[in-house]
Structure 1
């Protein structure tokens, strides 16, 4: 499996560690940078490329996922999520890493380099990469709603139970 990786300066140490770890585990890492420490770097430059790499691979039918890393991982996740078709999830535990794949079929994981140890973050990435999507109908349906909105920019209809005046809405 190919794994596209991008980070900011705060994630550089973890990125370099993960590139080596991924290769040791039999993955094909694709490093989108940065390659030197620059406290003023602009993380979208690297994270957008990681997301684009995953999207391009998947469009060609290749097995590919991505990892983006920052100080908190928030901005990096937001950048990767701007790539059409990419679902990037910020994870902070093994459980959130697994659920990102099982329920959301996320293709990119975002971790905060200042939030956890290298060992913890490596484990989060490992869980993410090895957890399959469940393909449960409810999860497929929800992903479809997001994909449709991304394509059309039209909001999905509200379910009957969420419409004003519906029984049960606002009842205590």
Structure 2
């Protein structure tokens, strides 16, 4: 499996560690940078390229996921989620890393390089990469609603129970 990586200066050390770890564990890392420390670099430059790489691979039928890394992981997640068709989840535990794949079919995970010890973050990435999407109907439906909104900008219809509740509060 190909794994695209992008970070900022705060994620540089973890990214370098992950490139080695991924190679040792049979993955094909693609490092979108940065490759040198720059305290004022901009994470979108690198994280958008990592997410685009995942999208391009998957559009071409390749098995590919991504990892974006920053100080908190928040900005990197936001950037990756701007790539059409990409779902990026912020992982701060093994459970959130697993659920990102199992329930949300996320293709990219974001981790905060200043938030956890190296061993924990490596484990979050390992869990993310090894967890399959469940394919449950409810998760497919929800992912479909998000995808439809992304394409059309039309909100999904409210469920009947929410419509009734709204009508009662208007009365």
TM-score (norm 1): 0.96
For 1:124 and 1:5, locate their aligned partners in 2 and report how far apart those are by CA, in whole Å. Answer: 14
For 2:127 and 2:165, locate their aligned partners in 1 and report how far apart those are by CA, in whole Å. Answer: 44
Cα deviation for residue 33 of structure 1 reads 0.2
Counterpart for residue 85 of structure 2: 85
Cα deviation for residue 166 of structure 1 reads 6.5
Counterpart for residue 140 of structure 1: 140
For residues 104-148 of structure 1, give each alpha carbon's deviation from its aligned partner in whole angstroms, at most 9, with x where no partner exists.
000000000000011000000000000000000000000000000
Runs of 4+ with deviation above 2 angstroms:
164-167
Q: Alpha carbons of 1:166 and 1:44: their partners in 2 closer, same or farther (altered >3 Å)? A: closer
For 2:124 and 2:62, locate their aligned partners in 1 and report how far apart those are by CA, in whole Å. Answer: 23
Which structure 2 segments of 5+ residues have no match?
Answer: none
Contact 1:77 1:88 in 2 (8 A): yes
Alignment length, in residue pairs?
A: 169
For 2:93 and 2:138, locate their aligned partners in 1 and report how far apart those are by CA, in whole Å. Answer: 24
The alignment yields a C-alpha RMSD, in angstroms, of 1.3
SS of equivalent to 2:15: helix
For 2:166 and 2:127, locate their aligned partners in 1 and report how far apart those are by CA, in whole Å. Answer: 42
Contact 1:7 1:47 in 2 (8 A): yes
For 2:166 and 2:43, locate their aligned partners in 1 and report how far apart those are by CA, in whole Å. Answer: 46
TM-score (norm 2): 0.96
SS of equivalent to 1:119: helix
Counterpart for residue 127 of structure 1: 127
Matched, 1:117 2:142: no
SS of equivalent to 1:163: helix
For 1:55 and 1:139, locate their aligned partners in 2 and report how far apart those are by CA, in whole Å. Answer: 20
SS of equivalent to 2:48: helix
Matched, 1:68 2:86: no
